[in-house]
Every structure is written in structure tokens, then in C-alpha cells.
Structure 1
Amino acid sequence: MKSSIFSFIITILAWELATAEDKNEKENTNQANNSSRYEAVVRIENSSLNPDYRSPWNTGRDSGGNGTGWLVGENKFLTNAHVVSNSRIIYIKKVGDAKPYRAKIVHIAHDCDLAMLELEDPSAFEGVSPFDIGKLPQLDTTVKVIGYPIGGERISITSGVVSRIDFLSYSHTSVDLHLTIQIDAAINPGNSGGPVIQNGKVVGVAFQGYSGNVAQNTGYMIPTPVIRRFLKDVEDGNYDHYVDLSMSDFPLINPAQRKALGLANDGIGIMVAAAEEDGSAGGILKTGDVLLAIDGRPVKSNGLINYEGEDVNMNEIVERKFAGDVIKLKIWRQNKSIDTKVTLKRFLPYLIAAKKYDEKPRYIMFSGLVFQPLDRNLMAAHGMKNLQVRYHFDSYVSADIYKDRPEVIVLTSILPDSINSYFSNFKHSIVDEVNGVKVKTLKDVHDALAKDNGDYIIISLLGNGRPIVIERAKVESAQKRIQEKYNVIKDYYLGD
């Protein structure tokens, strides 16, 4: 009897042991399957060098961070531009593999915050299938965000709902607006560049979100139309950037105003407030025109166009085009309907307001006076409050300042020396002329200062009746003295 009970107990223990082993084996299999499923998702580690706009002759400030990327093609990894901006060294890490693999940037698009990377040795990803790209997800559908956010070292998966599809600003440059999808899944530092998945396909790239008390559970992803456009753009080996109409507009909703313009009160048409002369629509659209249709699609009086069953910002139609593409416009002018065409191109002057990356600051240091071209990075670094400078920055495009001054050159700082005594009040002034030469670019300053045409160098500043006067005979010794004292290795950099 005792022998039978003992045998029964042994049988139960053996069964439980076998069950536990089977359970562990299944768990290990599931973990292996999950690792296999997400092995096309990678951790990206970037060592960067951020430019120093206050002392532009310095190499810059070391920094670093990590983000996420994903395999989009053979040895082609997609991530956010801000994950790899100002990069010195980039490493990619594979799921379940601690070894870092050296990577390089193939294409980077700061205007839509996307970048493509390649591995120097892609052998570690042989046999790994890239993700397929899906369609634009619908509202109130579920998506998964995959990445390497703060809080741990392993891959993280969160889920959420598509809560809004809109045309919004991309924070990377702060001036570019594109189609954007809002989701309520958690998007934290480190998630950037990671794939957003629906039905096994990528439907977006996680890239920005609110933090702190601003909003809760509000993250954003770059949708597939923007991803596909980037991939199409770089097919020829170059990234050609976005194009736009370079026009401003305002809604045409008031019935009385529509009647005065001879328009039917049908909710179609938006008024042109201004069209930049050097932009795509310059010389074609005029202030007061009413834009009725783009490529045969009616423009509603609030600026929306029905595209693929959704009402989208009319600029969404334009931004899917490329440089050199032609679009058809129908406009209303002086009680007549006019059909015209516009060849799309990039409008560069607006970049003065954009955050810039992967560029070394340009400057001239002469007798302790530091001259630099005005842009957003410079404004932020020097905390400029000079009203003249702020006006030129804020109104650079709207007041057509760019036509007269392709670059606004500012005296940003003064390295104290006997040759520039009592010049401190001139700091943060705009340079107008050097020895009678009108200054339109930084090179103009360099060329004018290099000319030996008198005993004195006279620098006229905009809005300041008293010029800066420097005795030329003292410049050479002062320049050497200042460079040694302040460790200025090179006294100018005009760009590559």
C-alpha cells in the first residue's frame, strides 16, 4: 500500500515537473518569437557635437542621446532627424544583442524630421525582414508604439488610439508644418524614431509629444504620406526638400464679402493675402485673388480640401509634390475665373526662423569684433533683445528684407582689447556698411575688411549715426594679441 502511494506521488511530481518545463519552454518560445518579430526595431545611440554660437571658433559642446529606428529596406534604417542631428558617431543595437554596430547617415531631412541610416557592416541583420509601410490609420483605431524610451534598456511596447489627424508644426525646426497624427499612447524620450504599428505594418514614426502639465497622454507620429514622400525623394540619391506655394491666406466666409467679390455663397474659395515674389506663386497669384481649386480639387472657404475622403489643409496637396512639379490652380480675379499653372520650388528666406543643425557657425573676428549672420540659433544663443535686430528677424520675409539683405550681419560680441575700447555700446547692432561698401552677406564684410584702402576702417551700423572707427596700422598686432588671449584658433569661417 505504501509503495503504491509513493509511486503515485512520484507520478504527480513528474507530471508537475514536465508541465513546468513545458510552460517554461512555451514562454521561452514566445519570448523568442517576440524578439524575432521586433528584431527590425533597433536602438540608436548618437554622440553629437552641438555648435557654440557664442564662441563660434570653438569646436562645440559634446552631447549624446538615444532613440529608436527600424529597418525599412536592405541595410536602410529609418529614424528621426533629431535623433541623429549634429552627429559625430552613431551606433545601432539589435534586439537581444549587446554589441553596438557602427552606422552612418545616408540622408537627413530636417524639414520633416526623418533620417535614413546605413550600417558599415550589415551582416548582423542578414535575414531580418524589413517592415512594410501601411496606410493612413483611421480615427479611433488602435496602434502600438515600439521603441527604447527612458525607464529601462529593453524594448518597450505601448498601445493607444488615433485621436486626431491634423496639419501641425514639427518642433524639430519650428517652422515646418506637415500632416501629423495624434495618439494617446505614451511617447517618451527614447521613443523618437520608433515605428508605430497597426495590423503588422508601420503606419507612423513616433517623434514628439507634450510633457509636464501641458497635456497628458498626447503624443504625435509622422504619418505614412510624409514617410513615403521622404523615401521617394531620396531614390535618386539626394534629398531635395519640401516645396510650397509661398503664400498666405485668410478665410472667405462672410456672405457680404463674397457677394462684393461676385462669388456665390457656396463655401468655396479662400482669399490670397500675399504671395512672395520669389516664391512658387510669385507673379502668378496676387493679393485679393480667390483660390478656388488646386489640381481640380475645390478649396473650401476655410482652406480645406477633400482628399482621399478626408478634409485636409490645402497645403497637404502641395507638400506631396516635388521640386519642379507643376500644379493647376483655378482663381477668381476681377469677377472672372482664371486657370493657371505654378511650377513648385523651395523658398529659402523662411529658413532664417528655422532651428538649424549639422552646420558649423559662420563668423568673422576682426580686432575683437565678432560678426555673424542672423538666424534663429544666433538669436537664442545671444538672447538678443535689440529692437532693430528683432524687427529684421521677425519681418525678414513679410517686409521683404531678404531682397535687400540676403544675410543680416550682426555685431554679436566684442572681445575686450585696447583697439576696441569704448565699443561695447555697439554690441548687437546690424552692420550696414564697411568702408562705404554695402553689406549684404558675411563675405561682403570679409572682403571689405581685407582691402587696404585707407588709414582707417569705418564700420557703419544700421540706425546708429556714430560709426566704429579702427586705425588700420594697429590691426595686425591686435589681431594676433586677441587670438592668443581668447584662444581664437581661426579668425573667420565663411562656410564650406
Structure 2
Amino acid sequence: MKRFLKIIYFSFCLLLTNSISVFGASAEKSVIRVNTTMQAFNLIQPWEKGAASTRLGLGAVLPNNKVLVTAQMVTDATYIELEKPDSSEKTSARVLTVDYEANLAVLEPTDNKSFLSDREPFLINEELAPSDQLEAWQFESNGTPVTTKITVSKAEVRQSFLETSKFLQVQANGPVQYRAGSFTLPVAKNNKLAGLLVSYSSKDQISSILPASIIKHFLSDIEDGEYTGFPNLGIMYSQTLDEQFREYLKLQKNEGGVFVSKVIDGASAAGNLKAGDVILEINNNKIDSRGNYEDKIWGKLSFSNLVRGIPFTGDSTKMSIIRDGERMNLSFKLIRRPTADYLIDPYMFDRGPKFSIIGGLVFQELSVPFLKLFGNDWRNRAPIKLLMAHANPEMYEKKGNKKLVMMTRTIPTPATLGYERLSTLIVTKINGIPIKDIKDVNTASKKPIDGQHRIEFESYPKLIFVDANLSSRVNKALENRIGLTERLK
């Protein structure tokens, strides 16, 4: 019902906009410059921020004084500015809604509420197909509109912004020259918004476009003021191409299906699917042995589009499966697992890392951004214990861990003499108190045992002691020097 009301409300807004639109969208009146200043936190020294940087992009003007941009444009933003290309008039803006997984965000002016009143809002055009002609709209530095024609070739479900999130993307061919440092470009079909160009390969002359279908899903979800986001199925799966494997699973000769190797707690599949199940159909769409279904427009697409890109959170999905050799049908609701519920945060934007310092020992909650500090090959170079925790979070969740706390580094102080080389150690207890998240570190630090902080780790050196009184004096000195010794929220 909520999905139905959202679609009706969103359609009404579009009809209302269409009724007052005379000339239709254009690069001159429907595209706005977005200038962002951003500053991320330092993950190694979490009490401070890194260097500030700027990003320039283009946004699509929407009804009701709003602007659509990619989420990449507003990551860790400290200041956002909208600029009219034709007059260079500017005003500040704020983020209304952002979904980093879908790579979409909506902005609105803050100081000048009527800033967009002379602009022409886009209508949405979801009707994309191979061979369609699209136009990428951008501007020269002097504000002159530039239109580049590109041709749709295919679509696929692929990584958009975060490597853990995959959504439908449309591929288009044709040379696109980025003008005036634009980071993202609105793409139009028949003067309606067909998508946002999110990446371009100059070598192959191929553009990747976040299509209007995903954009409309996002916009219709926020219209009632309560954004629920795209649902997560929450499984790991394997293809069923091997003949012996297929025989073991009791798959028929011309039958497809994917093998569920793992079910993630807290997501839609939990309590509905089981490891060992074979998914044959989703909402009457047959799934082949590679995990694809036949889309009526794009041909073969990953089945994840059926459970993430098309339905809304709260919608029901139907599946035909094989379980223990028996065929059965399932029906269950799709949900979105909040990022805060993950043992290891998959991403971290717009906030600093949670941390606590005891006498110079720095404790943090493990996150994927921290693992990426070990380089592009972090999956092989990061400490093995941390990688195992990332691959198998259920090992710790079953113990009651909300987050995985580690001692990331040691600041040389009088309290940490002899411990300077210790780093990236998973913490199990402090002063006898089990450490389930960073707040437990703060609580335990106030309860020393016989004047000592007793800190236990999962691996060598297993146990260390730090003088409590000396640690307290060191913390006060550090607070004067670096500003703060904890961030718990």
C-alpha cells in the first residue's frame, strides 16, 4: 500500500509539473552547477580531518525547488553551492536525502528559497531501450550549453559507487568531452531526464548511466518524507554450471537456478532462505545457471535487479526454490538492513570514526574504509584476522558483538612504553568487561582493576597492562594537544 501511495503521489507531482511546463526541459534552464567543498576524517588519526577538497558537477532541477545529484557529489560535504550557468548567480544548499548505495542525493537551496523559481524542472523518462539516442548536457566555463549525442547499447547490473552495492546501469557509446571540470552530467531523452552519467571511458568512448528507473524509485520513495531505501536480499550464491553439482542438487537438464551458499543475518533472506537452497524463479522470472533472468527490454540481467532495483522496501517477493531435494514456493517481505546494524561498517561518510583513547592506546571500530587503508589490494594485504572478521562477521555477532573493536595504533606516551609496535589487534575485554562496541571501551576505562587497565586481545600479546593513573594524566595532556580523546557517536 505504501508503495502504491508513493507512486500515485509522485505521478501527481509530475503531472502538476507537466501542466505548468510550456517549453520543456533544456540545458539552459534545467541543469544547475553544483560546487562542493568536502573534508573527510583521518582514519589513522580519527580525532582530526584530512585536507579539504572541491568537486564540481551538474545537477538536474526537479519540481518543488529541488536538485538531483549523485551521492558522490556530496560525500563528507562541508559546504554545497548551487550556481546558475547562465548568470553565475549562486546560493548555498543542503542535502535533503542521500543514498550512498544507490549513488543518489536530493538538494535544496538554504538561503535563497526562490533560487530555482526561474528554472524549468525535469520530467522523468523511464522508456530507455537499446539504440535510443540520448543527449548529455553540460556547459563551457563561460556558461554556454554543450550537447553531446550518445547511443544506448546495453544495460547491466554493476557496481555504481560502493563496491558492495550493484544497481542497473545503462551503457551508451559516443565521445563525451567533459567541460569545465563537470563530475556528473544529466542525460536527456526527448528533453526529459533519462539518467545521470556517472562515469566515462575516453579510451572506449563508453558512458555509464544511472537510469531513470532507479532515479524514479529513489524519488518516489522520498516523497512522503520517510525514505526507506532499496531493499537487501542478503545472500551469497554460486552458479550451477557444473554437471555433477547440478546432479547433486537434483536440477533438471534444461533448468537453471543459483545455489545459496550463505544467508546474511538481518536482511530479507534471513528466516526465509537457507544455505543449500537453489533459487529457480523470482516473481515468475526464471533464473538461469549464471544467475540471470530475461528482461523484456535489456535481455539477460542479474537477478539482483528483481529484488533490489525494481521492488520497494516492504514489498513481497515470490520465489520458487529447491530445498533438500524438494521443490517449494516462498513468499516474504523485502527489507533493508540499516548500515548501523553491520558488524563492520561497509562505508563511512559525513561522520568521523568512533574511537576512544586510553593513555595513548587508540581503539576504533573496524570498518571497510579502514581496511582500504592497506591499498588497492587490501583483501590480500590487510591483517588476516581483520579480513577473516570481514568475511565471516557472524563469528562475532553470535558472541553478541554489535561492532568489532580493535586497537588500531599506539601513540608513544609514558603510559605506553614497550607497546609502541602494537597495532590492529582485536580487543576482547578491558578490565574484565567484554568489548562489544566502542562505548564499552569508554565504560571499561572507568573501572580499572588494582590501579591497572587490563586489556585483552584475541591474538598475541593476548594481555597487556597500563597504569590507570598515568593513563588519566596522559589523556588530559592529549586532550589539550589534539582536542579530544573519544568520539562515541
TM-score band, normalised by shorter chain: 0.7 to 0.9
- Report the TM-score, using the length of structure 2 for normalisation: 0.86
Amino acid at match of 2:357: M
- Is the alpha carbon distance of 1:396 and 1:260 closer, same or farther for their aligned partners in structure 2, counting shifts above 3 Å? closer
Please tell me whether the aligned partners of residues 51 and 59 of structure 1 are also in contact (alpha carbons under 8 angstroms): yes
Amino acid at match of 1:313: S
Deviation of 1:406 after TM superposition, in Å, equals 2.7
Matched residue SS, 1:95: coil
The yes-or-no answer on 1:345 pairing with 2:341 is no
**Normalised by the size of structure 1, how large is the TM-score?**
0.84
Q: 1:358 aligns with which of 334, 347, 350?
A: 350
How far off is 1:136 after superposition?
4.0
Q: Which deviates the most, 154-163 or 60-69? A: 154-163
User: Contact 1:109/1:239 (CA < 8 Å) preserved in 2?
Assistant: no
The answer on whether the counterparts of 1:233 and 1:240 sit within 8 Å (CA) in structure 2 is yes
Whichever residue aligns with residue 223 of structure 1, its letter is P
SS at match of 1:61: coil
1:462 Cα deviation from its structure 2 partner: 1.5
Tell me, what secondary structure is at the counterpart of 1:133? coil
Aligned to 1:62: 52
Distance 1:297 1:382 in 2: 41
In structure 2, give the amino acid aligned to 1:218. I
Distance 2:219 2:475 in 1: 49
How far apart in 1 are the matches of 2:188 and 2:418?
Answer: 62
1:204 is displaced (CA, Å) by 0.8
SS at match of 1:457: strand
Which one of 442, 445, 450 corresponds to residue 454 of structure 1?
450
**Separation of aligned partners in 2, 1:351 and 1:38:** 47
Aligned length: 455
Deviates more, 1:290-299 or 1:107-116: 290-299
Q: Does the aligned pair in 2 maintain the 1:292–1:299 contact within 8 Å?
A: yes
SS in 1 for 2:482: coil
Match of 1:395 in 2: 391
Residues 45-64 of structure 1, C-alpha deviation per residue, up to 9 Å, x if partnerless? 11222212222222443221
Assess, with a 3 A threshold, how the Cα gap between structure 1 residues 126 and 480 changes in structure 2: closer, same or farther: closer
Which aligned pairs between 1:175-214 and structure 2 lie closer than 5 A?
175-185=164-174, 186=176, 188=178, 190-210=181-201
Does the residue aligned with 1:236 lie in a helix, a strand or coil?
A: coil
2:14 alignment partner in structure 1: none
Q: State the Cα distance separating 1:36 from its structure 2 match.
A: 6.1
Correspondence for 1:217 among 190, 202, 205: 205
Matched, 1:482 2:478: yes
1:317 has 2:311 as partner: no
Distance 2:455 2:177 in 1: 51
Structure 2 counterparts to residues 93-104 of structure 1, below 5 A: 93-104=83-94
Determine helix, strand or coil for the equivalent of 2:250.
coil
After superposition, give the CA deviation of every residue in 1:426-465 in whole Å (9 maximum; x if it has no partner): 2221212111222111111111111244321111122114
Structure 1 stretch 302-311 or stretch 358-367: which is displaced more? 302-311
Q: Which amino acid aligns with 2:131?
A: D
The whole-number CA distance in structure 1 between the counterparts of 2:469 and 2:27 is 72
User: Using the alignment, how far apart are the partners of 2:97 and 2:25 within structure 1?
Assistant: 28
- Distance in structure 1 (CA, Å) of the matches to 2:416 and 2:182: 50
- The answer to whether structure 1 residue 133 and structure 2 residue 143 are counterparts is no
The residue type equivalent to 1:184 in the other structure is N
| Paired residues for 1:162-311 under 5 Å | 162-170=152-160, 172-185=161-174, 186=176, 188=178, 190-210=181-201, 215-309=203-297, 310-311=299-300
CA shift in 2, pair 1:375/1:154, >3 Å: farther
Aligned residue number for residue 17 of structure 2: none
Q: Deviation digits for residues 76-112 of structure 1, max 9, x if unmatched? A: 1101111122112211111311121221111111111
In structure 2, distance between residues paired with 1:225 and 1:321: 11
Q: Does 1:493 align with 2:477?
A: no
Unaligned segments of structure 1, at least 5 residues: 1-32
Query: d(CA) in 2 for partners of 1:386 and 1:259?
Result: 39
What is the alpha-carbon distance in structure 1 between the residues aligned to residue 257 and residue 374 of structure 2?
44
Aligned with 1:50: secondary structure?
Answer: coil
Equivalent residue number for residue 21 of structure 1: none
The SS at the match of 2:52 is strand
The amino acid of 1:281's aligned partner reads A
Pair 396,375 (structure 1): closer, same or farther in 2 beyond 3 Å = farther
Does the aligned pair in 1 maintain the 2:371–2:382 contact within 8 Å?
no
> 1:378 maps to what in 2?
370
Distance of 1:352 and 1:163 partners within structure 2: 38
Larger radius of gyration: 1
Q: Is the 8 A contact 1:35 1:95 kept in 2?
A: no
Q: Distance in 1 between matches of 2:214 and 2:159?
A: 13
Separation in 1 of the partners of 2:192 and 2:368? 38
User: Do the aligned residues in 2 keep the contact of 1:136 with 1:223 (CA within 8 Å)?
Assistant: no
2: CA distance between counterparts of 1:82 and 1:351? 24
Contact 1:192 1:205 in 2 (8 A): no
Aligned residue runs from structure 1 range 42-53, under 5 A: 42-53=32-43
Q: Give the 3-state SS of the residue equivalent to 2:317 in structure 1.
A: strand
Query: Could you tell me which residue of structure 1 aligns to residue 411 of structure 2?
Result: 415
- Structure 1 residue 229 displacement after superposition: 0.9
Q: Does 1:80 align with 2:70?
A: yes
Whether 1:443 and 2:439 are equivalent positions in the alignment is: yes
* Structure 1 residue 292 displacement after superposition: 1.7
Distance in 2, matches of 1:96 and 1:90, equals 19
Question: Which residue of 2 is the match for residue 464 of structure 1?
Answer: 460
Letter in 1 for 2:486: Y
In structure 2, distance between residues paired with 1:358 and 1:148: 29
Deviations 1:397-417 (A, max 9, x none): 4x6444433312121222211
CA distance in 1, matches of 2:122, 2:231: 28
Any conservation in 2 of the 1:392–1:401 contact (CA below 8 Å)?
no
Please say if residues 362 and 372 of structure 1, whose CA atoms lie closer than 8 Å, have aligned partners that are also in contact: yes
CA distance 1:370–1:251, shift in 2 (3 Å): same
Do the aligned partners of 2:138 and 2:182 also contact (CA within 8 Å) in 1? yes
Q: Which moved more, 1:375-384 or 1:87-96?
A: 375-384
Unaligned runs of 5+ in 2: 1-22
Task: Report SS of the residue matched to 1:340.
Answer: strand
With over 3 angstroms needed to count, the CA separation of the structure-2 counterparts of 1:173 and 1:329, relative to structure 1, is same
Following the alignment from structure 2 to structure 1, what is the Cα–Cα distance between the partners of residues 278 and 373?
41
Residue 359 of structure 2 is matched in structure 1 by 367
Distance between the aligned counterparts of 2:76 and 2:125, measured in 1? 31
Q: Distance in 2 between matches of 1:476 and 1:457?
A: 11
